[in-house]
Structure 1
Amino acid sequence: MATRTESCLLGHVLLAVSALVVAAAAAGDDPGKIGICHGRVGSNLPPPAAAAALLRRNGVTKARLFLPDPAVLPAFAAAGIDLIVGVPNENLTFLSASGPEGAAQWLRSAVLAHAPAERVRYLAVGNEVLYNNQFYAPHLVPAMQNLHAALVALGLDGKVKVSSAHASSVLAASYPPSAGAFDAASLPVLRPMLRFLADTGAPFMVNTYPFISYVNDPANVQLGYALFGAGAAPVQDGALVYTNLFDATVDALVAALEKEGFGNVPVAVTETGWPTAGHPAATPQNAAAYNAKMVERAARGVGTPRRPGMPVETFLFDLYDEDGKPGAEFERHFGIFKADGSKAYDINFA
């Protein structure tokens, strides 16, 4: 007969296994496929039908759209591409105050009028609100809740998950990964959001760029470590070993989730990538190396040291260069493809 201690330990193990199974299922219907973001802040972008055809021609069947563009949604849906559809930050005040009925009206007119529900996998409510849009922060979770209630009323809550994409700066601590902790100023918003994600089976979405971490702190972040380089010095964190910054960042987020009591919430990386110009480390060769590794990891269903059996659904940024983006020059050079449909560097997705 098992002792009380053994029974408790067995119970904890079974709960942990169950949580990982649920979380893996929530991480995406097909986590073994990479997705690509389609930003639209450019002056020479091909038409949506051409962009959708380009994705399909290269074996990509998932995309992230940053807003429900009525020209883009039907083109991508008709091509059979599954979508993350962004809910713009400026819509959050209305959606938080409108109740489920107003959210349902918005959902029908802005999204479902242009794309069938079976093509929409996620609604990403707001983008990096806690990083640079604090005005919208109080409206974020109520907007998510109202949209989810609208999906329930429409019978779509089992198909479409509701989350919000965060900047990596939502973490106040990330080194070593086991020390990962959320920014205390964000916790009043994050805690109810985490409860919502756990209750609805949706992932915690994060935008993470090892390139930017390297650019901001080259003295402490090795280029090889950011690029999955074989010669990079590993980071030892207790019994776990980290050979790249991507794994370390995701696991710092996992550690932060665990500290808040939500270790069963999966993580989806809704933006990551490497630019081809605008900085000495922004080269086509480095972009090819980084993004090829991300494609390979998605295809193999690779987890992280802290969650080795749990794939991280990932979306590469960006389909094309966006010459209208503000900020540093490299911000305008994340395109994987050129406007004529040719590849900016050698990379395969199939």
Structure 2
Amino acid sequence: MDQVEIEEAKAGDLIAVSGMEDISVGETVVDPAHPDELPLLRIDEPTLQMTFRQNDSPFAGREGKFVTARQIEDRLLRELHTDVSLRVEDTGQAGSWLVSGRGELHLSILIENMRREGFELQASRPQVIFREENGQTTEPYESIQIDTPDEYSSAVIDSLNQRKGEMQNMEAVGNGQTRLTYMAPSRGLIGYATEFMTTTHGYGIYNHTFAEYRPKVNNWEPGRRNGALVSINQGPTTNYAIMGVEDRGQMFIGAGVDVYEGMVVGMNSRDNDISVNVTKMKPQSNVRSSNKDQTASIKTPREMNLEASMEFLNDDEYVEVTPENVRIRKAILNTAEREKAAKRRNK
């Protein structure tokens, strides 16, 4: 395919124009003698926002090619030229930006693309964007359509009701399938995709799109119900240490993985955070058992990819994203300082 210089183009032609700057999507290029523009395209406003930060963990710079704040900012500003639904704002803090998008998937795709390009960064838990309309706080609502096998429909209905969803319609579509139509607040759907696939054993189809802003649902705050298992020191994990911790909950890492203080290594079975030692070595002594070392084994850890990590996050945590790894960490890494901050919040 060659580029050919032309004097005239018609509707449907793909052209390149040079000599003009700062042209945005939806704007019209006109003859100054006839400045008749087309109506601007209506672009839906962002409904979700996350804080992107320069990676400042103890492992910063180990795996990424682009790690500085300037490189991350340049990449985000370049994205604005092609993604009309994205918003990037400076937070006033060095190496931190408020990035707003059209949903959890929109922002996760941006992070994944940056990760594959060699960037290192950290991102906070997704938060919905509230509005003030006529003196009332409103929040975004999503229209949901679900197709699920009949035997899982009751479990899906229960899960959406817990997330403040309102059923609009329910009908049988044949072949043992049920179609559900719901309206639910966007903040209730953060992290729901994984739960839905687990509930329907992978047989359900889940689609949602922004519908409108409605009055905010008060006295309700979604979020995970379990606490985190947080490492208290830095170093490689050991089989012996993990065996002593895995009864507390579900592990995210196996043996031989480098961790640092403040890194989340698992999910607690209870609702509070626990600081654990996953780098402890087995005491060496002259006493040996003939078969104990061979039978020692740990459970398979839960794999936490980018999407699962974003869904797991709490307000005091970040997901650390590098070209090679996705880690979850506490905002305050030092164990003593983090526990003091937790006590102050609970007062």
TM-score grouping bracket, smaller chain normalisation: under 0.3
Greater radius of gyration (CA): 2
Q: Which structure ranks higher in relative contact order (CA pairs < 8 Å, sequence separation ≥ 6)?
A: 1
Q: How high is the TM-score relative to the length of structure 1?
A: 0.27
Higher helix share: 1
Name the structure where strand makes up a greater proportion of residues. 2
